[in-house]
Amino acid sequence: MTIYYSLTFLLLASEMVTFCLLVLPLPYAIRKRMFHFLSESPIIAKLSYALKISFIFVGILFFDALQRMFRITAEAEMAKSGGQNVGDIRTETNLAARKFYAQRNTYLTGFTLFLSLVLTRTFYITLDLIHVQEEYAKLKSGSGSAGTETKGSGADKDKIIASKDKEIAELKKKARDFDTLKNQAASQAAEYDRLADRYNKLSGQKPGDKKAD
C-alpha cells in the first residue's frame, strides 16, 4: 500500500473512532461541554479546515481508483472473452491482483468520504439537539418564574378584590342605615302631624286658625 493510501486508511480509522465518541451515551453535561469545545475551539476550526483540504485529495484518489478499477475490469473481461493468455497463470494472477488492489483502493477512499459526510451530519444534528435542550431548559425555568409571578399577582388581585368587596358592603350598610333613618323621620313627621291635628281638635282650633295667628 502506497503512502497516500496508508494515510487514507489512518484517516478512516480516526473517523471511526470519532464517530464512536460522538454516538457514545455520555452524560448530558459532559456531552454539552465536549460539543461546545468542538464547535467553539479555534484549534478544532483549523484542524477542520485542514481535514477539508485532505478530503479533496481523498476525493481525487477515489475517482482515480474508480477509473483504474473499471479499466482493469475491462481488461480482464477482454482477456477472458478473447481467450488471450488463458493458460498463463502469472497473467491471470497479475490481473486478479491489480483488480483486487483497485477495488480495495476504491472502497477505502469511498468509505472515507462517506464516513466524513456521516460524521459531519451526526455532529451538527447532535449540536442542534443540545441547543434545543438548552432552549427548552430556559423556557421551562422562565415559565416556572412566570408562574410564580402570576401566583403573586393573583394573590394581590384577590386582596384588592376582597378590600373592594368590604368597601361595597360598608356602603350598602350605610345606605340601609340612611333608608332606616329616612323612614324613621317620615314616620315621626306623620306622627307629629297626627298629634298636632288631635291637639287642634281638642283645643277647638281649626288647622287654618293657627296659620292666621
pLDDT in tens, 51-63: 888 889 999 999 9
Name residue, grid cell 394573590.
155
pLDDT tens, per residue, the chain with 213 residues: 678 888 888 988 988 898 888 888 888 888 888 888 888 888 888 888 888 888 899 999 999 888 988 888 888 777 777 655 455 677 778 888 888 888 888 999 999 999 988 888 888 888 888 888 888 888 887 766 555 555 555 566 677 777 777 777 777 776 676 667 666 666 766 766 677 677 667 766 544 454 444
Q: For residue 140, what is its C-alpha cell?
A: 421551562
CA atoms within 13 A on the CB side of 210: 10
Q: For residue 84, what is its C-alpha cell?
A: 488471450
pTM: 0.57
